[in-house]
Structure 1
């Protein structure tokens, strides 16, 4: 069974943090060395892209019993604060979208609050937590539009089960700055839209004309197995991209491989606010949670 943050020794935590710092430094260096892969954000022209190519709407609220009101409020605030960074971006096949290059680091100074994060086998509050909802939406939009998937990392834990019969696995986890989502339109230029309205995140893609391709997604090798870690769900997402006029095949490949440990209903409700592990290394004090009973 993979170790959880609560079980790690101080030396193991130090080694874990050292590796994170090294990976962070390597990614920041890559930004400087390869600006063509991670270009600085650039706004699209105000005119000339009036054709709506795609739209995706995602509800911000969770309705399952495991949703903590304080952390849910933090998530809604964080997504609403982050969305404008992506609104109006110019994207082309040679100007990809990098989640972190666009958004920057999530800090309290920048206005971000504590929301729920999945880290080290635990559900932990973190500054900027819940921002994966935006990363998930951006990856799903790119996947469904046939965009190039240059970097994507799936979640390793499942806090919210997918709806029965739904295509699952179109998600993307992010961790500053080296666990990123990097995608690029197959055709360009396009203008990305990102807004929070009436409790939902809405992403749009506008261009000069209709798309020249169409795509289809499906899941293969779906499985649910018992492991020493508990139940684990796996699958692979395959995408077929065709010419919109002729139907000629342009691409068919796996764009996502997923392996998630399923949390029990009890574990989905257990965070630093409720678990009662006062000596846990991962424990986080969240403003507004004072006086709550674990």
Structure 2
């Protein structure tokens, strides 16, 4: 319910050259009066419930989609901890975005000459989305995880990795550039097997 309502405020939006997308500017505050209900929230190192909980899933998807475009992310916040193991996880750890009304936002700017459109929809089980562009682009963008590791430090378990973006020439298939997008390091809130852990001092 919460994700569907928030997605409806964004689905179909056009982002013209020079325009800035703001998650909260479009979605607004999630209140009971608007029809939002209780859902899961990640806040200050804990899993809680609150009105509008769950719409971080939408921010996660939007950020992932934008990484596959030449638009420029100007505000993105990471989750402070990793709450769940990888079972059922589709995207690499740490490749999402945290949002909290109204000061923790997801914003990106269209620094290109293209016009982009965001489409979002829900199936019975999944939130899905796509980014369309008004003309064929010269490059495509591929996201990959590197340097993944679980480790233990001072009786706590942590997880780190790097998220890289490779720019591919669509005509030749050659990688023309690559960049480090995110460097993650977060406490893990679930059990990790000893064989997966590296112990540090």
Q: Does 1:170 align with 2:118?
A: no
Aligned to 1:222: 148
Aligned to 1:62: none
Note if contact 2:84-2:190 (Cα within 8 Å) is conserved in structure 1: no
TM-score by length of 2: 0.82
Note if contact 1:152-1:181 (Cα within 8 Å) is conserved in structure 2: yes
Aligned to 2:121: 195
Whole-Å separation in 2 of the counterparts to 1:121 and 1:98: 25
Note if contact 1:92-1:184 (Cα within 8 Å) is conserved in structure 2: no
Give 1:150 deviation, angstroms.
1.6
Q: Does 1:244 align with 2:170?
A: yes
Give 1:176 deviation, angstroms.
1.2
Aligned to 1:235: 161
Q: Does 1:152 align with 2:76?
A: yes
Q: Secondary structure at the match of 2:100?
A: coil
Give 1:217 deviation, angstroms.
1.9
Note if contact 1:149-1:255 (Cα within 8 Å) is conserved in structure 2: no
Give 1:93 deviation, angstroms.
4.1
Aligned to 2:12: 88
Give 1:135 deviation, angstroms.
0.4
Q: Does 1:181 align with 2:112?
A: no
Note if contact 1:154-1:257 (Cα within 8 Å) is conserved in structure 2: no
Aligned to 1:135: 59
Q: Alpha-carbon deviations, 1:77-122, whole Å to 9, x = none?
A: 1001111111111113411321111111111111111111111222
Note if contact 1:239-1:255 (Cα within 8 Å) is conserved in structure 2: yes
Whole-Å separation in 1 of the counterparts to 2:130 and 2:90: 25
* Structure of greater Rg: 1
Count of residues in correspondence between the two structures = 188
For residues 130 and 166 of structure 1, do their structure 2 counterparts lie closer, same or farther at Cα, with a shift above 3 Å needed?
closer
Uncovered stretches (5+) of structure 1, i.e. residues with no partner: 1-76, 266-294
Question: Which of 18, 39, 50 is residue 126 of structure 1 equivalent to?
Answer: 50
Q: Alpha-carbon deviations, 1:8-48, whole Å to 9, x = none?
A: xxxxxxxxxxxxxxxxxxxxxxxxxxxxxxxxxxxxxxxxx
TM-score by length of 1: 0.58
Whole-Å separation in 2 of the counterparts to 1:116 and 1:165: 19
RMSD: 2.3
Whole-Å separation in 2 of the counterparts to 1:176 and 1:256: 23
| Larger helix proportion of the pair | 1
Q: Alpha-carbon deviations, 1:203-245, whole Å to 9, x = none?
A: 1222323332111222233221112362110112111224433
Whole-Å separation in 1 of the counterparts to 2:155 and 2:108: 32
Note if contact 1:213-1:242 (Cα within 8 Å) is conserved in structure 2: yes
Note if contact 2:160-2:186 (Cα within 8 Å) is conserved in structure 1: yes
For residues 187 and 132 of structure 1, do their structure 2 counterparts lie closer, same or farther at Cα, with a shift above 3 Å needed?
farther
